[in-house]
Chains A and B, each alone.
Chain A
Amino acid sequence: MIQVDTRGLSCPQPIVLVNMEIKKGTKEFEILLDSQASIENVARLLNKHKLSFETIQKADHTIYHVK
């Protein structure tokens, strides 16, 4: 599965990378996030595009599984 790893990236890289995947029309992908700001920004972006996702909490990062 396609993984978008946004960990350690400054704004607006996380939303830019996720937006590229959305524009490509990728149906299912995972987003790795490690900053709270990106976690909120990316959720806002996914909601805007009415994409459903599942949140998986790891020890040092969060994964959004978009499907």
Chain B
Amino acid sequence: MKNFFSTRWGIIVVGAVIGILATLLQKFGNPANMGICVACFARDTAGALGFHHAGNLQYVRPELIGIILGSLVMALIFKEFKPRGGSATIVRFFLGIFAVIGALVFLGCPWRASLRLAGGDWNAIVGFAGLIGGIYIGTLFIKKGYNLGRSMPSNKKLSGWIFPASMIILLILLVFGFKKLANANPPHALLWISLGFALIIGALAQRSRFCTVGAFRDMMMIGESYLLTGLGTFIVVAFIMNLLLGQFHPGFANQPAAHTMHLWNFLGMVLAGLAFTLAGGCPGRQLVMAGEGDSDAAIFFLGLIVGAGLAHNFGLTSSGKGIGEFGAAGTIIGIIFCLIIGFTMVQKRK
């Protein structure tokens, strides 16, 4: 059976639906230009789990759980649930840590960068330039033979289930109002709306392999525009939705959860783009692969959670005022780390 979502029209539909649902999430209560942001939501989730204690940033975001479970359901239906892992796991963990540090210097993962752009936050143009630059550096390493090695299929189904199951348990605790998970209450849409929309997004992303980093990478490496079509549609549709919903406010200054320190917006996303490329996909794609039973992607996501906790505990994150006390140091250390990984994890080709 031909998978409609793997066609050009398929990815256009996926991009459009994500654009509509993400901007609606903003209308329904998520922070501005933050309908979906894997980095920001990993940070809020880390806060809810007690990995940092930043004021109002503690809430298990059902969007993350929804994307993982939406992907899980599709993977099970289409027999694509394959427990696998073991490809340079610890490297992926640290790539996750530094990816989120870079994203939190800019204040957004590539998904939120898209939503910020669609909402008229022109700082996102600088962020995108950095993202594309980081991805480009990543493709140079890949061309030289960079490779994290093969993952192995696991003959034990359980290994693929542990991560999605932990998300189901977290969701149950959230639904039944386990008090410790709701220390603070940042702006958010109703749990069922967040979860429902994210299940749809996760399901569609699983079928289409939607990836905001692969979009540029595939274009640069083999001139393939399939994923880029999806990302472009996402941004255009989100822009139109913002116009309709009165959420479009163009400018550089005073944008929601954003700052105007261009150098660090740029370098933060260079770091994020490079780390995502070295890890094989954007954070949304990693969530989807984790839902398909990929333990390496799950570990990358846990790296995001840990990295978000570290970023807040040690002053690496930005705010509306600008970058954090150690944001510049964190970004540079992260870029150096990624360069070392890029130069060393090379397999000679015949």
Chain A residues proximal to chain B, CB less than 8 Å: 7-13, 15-16, 19-20, 34-37, 40-41, 44-45, 48, 60
Name 16 extra pairs, CB < 8 A, besides A8-B84, A8-B150, A10-B151.
A8-B151, A9-B147, A10-B87, A10-B148, A10-B279, A10-B296, A11-B217, A12-B214, A15-B218, A15-B224, A19-B222, A20-B349, A34-B82, A34-B153, A36-B78, A40-B6
Residues of chain A within 8 A (CB-CB) of B84 are 8
Residues of chain A within 8 A (CB-CB) of B243 are none
CB pair B82 A16 closer than 8 Å: no
CB of B226 within 8 A of chain A? Answer: yes
A48 and B223 CA atoms in complex are apart in Å by 10
CB pair A36 B142 closer than 8 Å: no
A8 and B280 CA atoms in complex are apart in Å by 12
CB pair B150 A9 closer than 8 Å: yes
**Contact A44-B281, Cβ < 8 Å, known A10-B148, A13-B147, A15-B218:** no
CB of B90 within 8 A of chain A? Answer: no
CB B23 to nearest CB in A, in angstroms, measures 27
A20 and B221 CA atoms in complex are apart in Å by 11
A20 and B78 CA atoms in complex are apart in Å by 31
Chain B residues proximal to chain A, CB less than 8 Å: 3, 6, 78, 80, 82, 84, 87, 142-143, 147-148, 150-153, 209, 211, 214, 217-218, 221-222, 224, 226, 279-281, 296, 349
- Nearest chain-B residue to A37 (Cβ)? B209
Residues of chain B within 8 A (CB-CB) of A13 are 142, 147
- Nearest chain-B residue to A7 (Cβ)? B150
**Contact A11-B221, Cβ < 8 Å, known A16-B142, A40-B3, A44-B226:** no
- Nearest chain-A residue to B84 (Cβ)? A8
A16 and B217 CA atoms in complex are apart in Å by 11
A63 and B138 CA atoms in complex are apart in Å by 29
A8 and B152 CA atoms in complex are apart in Å by 6
- Nearest chain-A residue to B285 (Cβ)? A11
A56 and B217 CA atoms in complex are apart in Å by 29
A-B contacts, 17 of them at CB < 8 A, read: A8-B150, A8-B152, A8-B153, A10-B148, A11-B281, A12-B221, A13-B147, A15-B221, A15-B222, A15-B224, A16-B221, A16-B222, A20-B349, A40-B6, A44-B6, A44-B224, A60-B153
Residues of chain A within 8 A (CB-CB) of B80 are 36
Residues of chain A within 8 A (CB-CB) of B218 are 12, 15
CB B86 to nearest CB in A, in angstroms, measures 9
Residues of chain B within 8 A (CB-CB) of A34 are 82, 153
Instruction: Select the residue from A40, A45, A48 with max chain B CB neighbours within 10 A.
Output: A40
Residues of chain A within 8 A (CB-CB) of B152 are 8
A11 and B294 CA atoms in complex are apart in Å by 13
**Contact A11-B147, Cβ < 8 Å, known A16-B142, A36-B80:** no
